[in-house]
């Protein structure tokens, strides 16, 4: 059995209504793609093809899901399970408000940054477990870019803050592995 299949079974035990669907089949996902393209002035062009999104308990995946290596699926699923748990904790309305509003929908979205810090910490932890701590450290440029760039609408445009968070997360993971 693949590691990702076992994790999906665990997620289903925790969230029985969880499902995985392709973004290309959803008018809502295609609409979000267009909205993000407009809101980010063309900066976020890969929402449909390069991003995985949990929305209302469903993991919306691009076609790349079919070719994603098993360990990478596990890392992605662990990240998205954090979002499922956040949804359970805050409710659909609460997580929507926190994700989209405080302070601004783009350029300074503290709520979204906090939500993603928690999920990306799990990405780092899973990467360190499956590929080693150096592989987790190598994620720094991609993660910093996501926070300060158009990928998430410039949700936290302060790279020093992201670097400090990243360093603290890596240090914590490395300490736990010793």
- Whether the per-residue pLDDT at 51 is higher than 90: the answer is yes
> pTM higher than 0.85, yes or no?
yes
SS (H, E, C) the chain: CCHHHHHHHHHHHHCCCCEEEEHHHCHHHHHHHHHHHHHCCCCCCCHHHHCCEEECCEEEECHHHHHCCHHHHHHHHHHHHHHHHHHHHHHHHHHHHHHHCCCCCCCCCHHHHHHHHHHHHHHHHHHHHHHCHHHHHCCHHHHHHHHHCHHHCCCCCCHHHHHHHHHHHHHHHHHHHC
The predicted-structure confidence for 113-170, as pLDDT tens digits, reads as follows: 999 999 999 999 999 999 999 999 999 999 999 999 998 888 998 999 999 999 999 9
Per-residue pLDDT at 39:
84
Residues 38-51, mean pLDDT to the nearest whole number: 90
């Amino acid at each position: 059995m693949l590691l990702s299949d076992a994790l999906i079974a665990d997620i289903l035990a925790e969230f029985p209504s969880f499902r995985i669907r392709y973004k290309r089949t959803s008018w809502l996902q295609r609409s979000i793609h267009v909205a993000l393209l407009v809101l980010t002035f063309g900066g976020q062009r890969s929402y449909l093809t390069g991003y995985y999104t949990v929305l209302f308990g469903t993991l919306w995946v691009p076609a790349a899901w079919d070719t994603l290596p098993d360990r990478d699926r596990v890392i992605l699923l662990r990240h998205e399970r954090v979002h499922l748990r956040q949804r359970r904790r805050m409710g659909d309305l609460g997580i929507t408000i926190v994700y989209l509003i405080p302070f601004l929908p783009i350029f300074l979205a503290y709520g979204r940054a906090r939500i993603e810090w928690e999920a990306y910490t799990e990405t780092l932890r899973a990467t360190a477990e499956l590929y080693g701590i150096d592989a987790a450290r190598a994620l720094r440029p991609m993660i910093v870019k996501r926070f300060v760039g158009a990928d998430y609408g410039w949700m936290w445009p302060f790279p020093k803050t992201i670097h400090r968070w990243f360093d603290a997360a890596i240090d914590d993971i490395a300490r736990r592995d010793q």
